[in-house]
Amino acid sequence: MALIKLTNISYDYPNTCGLDHLNLEINTGDFICLMGPNGSGKSTLLRILSGLETASQGDYQFDDQAITAAYLADPQDRQRLHQQIGLVFQNTDVQLFNTSVADEVAFGPRQLGLPEAEIAQRVTDCLELTHSSELRDRVPYQLSGGEKKRVALASVLALNPTVLLLDEPLNGLTIAAQQQMLTLLQTLQAAGKTIIMASHNFKQVQAVEPRFVIFNADHQIQADLTAAELATQPEQQAELLTL
Ligand SMILES: Nc1ncnc2c1ncn2[C@@H]1O[C@H](COP(=O)(O)OP(=O)(O)OP(=O)(O)O)[C@@H](O)[C@H]1O
């Protein structure tokens, strides 16, 4: 049974199409890389999966639960989904709003009402995991782009989600930091998490051998391939190198 099942999902913005009749199944432990041209719908899909938006049409099932506008309108149900699916935004500035990194990472667990000792442990663990321990007393707003990405990821991990959604997590990072981020995501996958990331960095991402879900400019899924399948398709690979 798939963890995530999208059936005929479309999303319409006021003047433009965001997604056009998507069908997609994602299993627990998958590592998926969403690729495609600018504006093809990758961020829109991540927003729908996270429950920030609901599809204009179609059916979204998460862990056998239909995620509908009515479901998301219920604060408890919405919180349950947000606990299970964490989104690291492309623009981390919209995600970071606390006055210290430690408070930023503690924010989600505090919202859940966890005991302070448990919160403190999660903050320490998630900062360590994201190589951000030395940032704990810094002001998030003043961090570098790469540091902000690590702290945003730590703050999402602090909720211990089953599924991690990341919108262009490699953007603005040095090659070394990109590799560090991918290694971390692989570690999380090995720990049982499901990883779904949007990226343009085919060369870097290729090394972690994800499943590639490739969009076309018409906001549809053009191909859904394992890394091994993609390796047998030089034309598709050449196209991904141009994104
Ligand atoms: N808030 C919005 N209002 C109107 N149209 C939008 C909005 N957000 C996205 N769109 C449009 O929806 C389509 C899909 O956009 P989306 O951001 O999902 O693409 P993307 O694949 O993530 O692009 P990129 O690679 O540039 O990040 C595009 O045509 C875009 O212009």
Element at 35 (helix H, strand E): strand 31-35
Is 95 a residue whose pLDDT tops 90?
no
Look at residue 172 in the predicted model and tell me its pLDDT: 87
Q: Considering only CA atoms, which residue is closest to atom 6 of ligand 1?
A: 13
The CA R_g of the chain, rounded to the nearest whole Å, is 18
**Residue bearing tokens 């040095």:** 174
Q: What is the rounded end-to-end Cα distance, in angstroms, of the chain?
A: 33
User: Which residue type, as a one-letter code, is found at position 211?
Assistant: R
Is 184 a residue whose pLDDT tops 90?
yes
Starting at the edge strand that comes first in sequence, how are the strands of the sheet with 65-66 ordered?
17-26, 4-12, 57-62, 65-66
Q: What are the chain's domains?
A: 4-241 (3.40.50.300)
Which atom of ligand 1 is the closest one to the Cα of 198?
22
Band of residue 116 on the pLDDT scale cut at 50, 70, 90: very high
Mutate to test the pocket of ligand 1, among 10, 20, 40, 220 (most ligand atoms within 8 A of CB): 40
Helix axes 145-157, 101-111, angle to 10 degrees: 30
Distance from the CA of 205 to the center of ligand 1, in angstroms?
A: 22
pTM: 0.96
CB hemisphere CA count around 225 (13 angstroms): 17
Q: Considering only CA atoms, which residue is closest to atom 7 of ligand 1?
A: 13
Which atom of ligand 1 is the closest one to the Cα of 34?
21
Residues, the chain:
243
Band of residue 220 on the pLDDT scale cut at 50, 70, 90: very high
Distance from the CA of 236 to the center of ligand 1, in angstroms?
A: 23
- The dihedral region occupied by 57, where left means phi > 0, alpha psi between -120 and 50, and beta the remainder, is beta
- CA–CA gap between residue 189 and residue 163 (Å, rounded): 9
| 1 vs 180, more confident | 180
Look at residue 197 in the predicted model and tell me its pLDDT: 98
Distance from the CA of 139 to the center of ligand 1, in angstroms?
A: 30
Q: To the nearest whole number, what is the mean pLDDT of the chain?
A: 96
Percentage of the chain with pLDDT > 70? 100
Number of H helices, E strands in the chain: 10, 10
Lookup: tokens for 222: 């053009």
Query: Is residue 40 a contact partner of residue 58, using CB atoms and an 8 Å limit?
Result: no
ipTM beyond 0.90?
yes
Pocket of ligand 1 (CB under 6 A): 13, 16, 18, 36, 38-44, 198
**Residue bearing tokens 């999660």:** 122
The Cβ of residue 68 has, within 10 Å, a number of other Cβ atoms equal to 13
Is 185 a residue whose pLDDT tops 90?
yes
Look at residue 156 in the predicted model and tell me its pLDDT: 96
Distance from the CA of 3 to the center of ligand 1, in angstroms?
A: 25
Look at residue 77 in the predicted model and tell me its pLDDT: 96
Which atom of ligand 1 is the closest one to the Cα of 200?
25
Mean pLDDT calculated for residue range 234-238: 93
Distance from the CA of 55 to the center of ligand 1, in angstroms?
A: 14
Query: Is residue 35 a contact partner of residue 243, using CB atoms and an 8 Å limit?
Result: yes
Mutate to test the pocket of ligand 1, among 15, 33, 34, 38 (most ligand atoms within 8 A of CB): 38
Which atom of ligand 1 is the closest one to the Cα of 41?
18
Band of residue 108 on the pLDDT scale cut at 50, 70, 90: very high
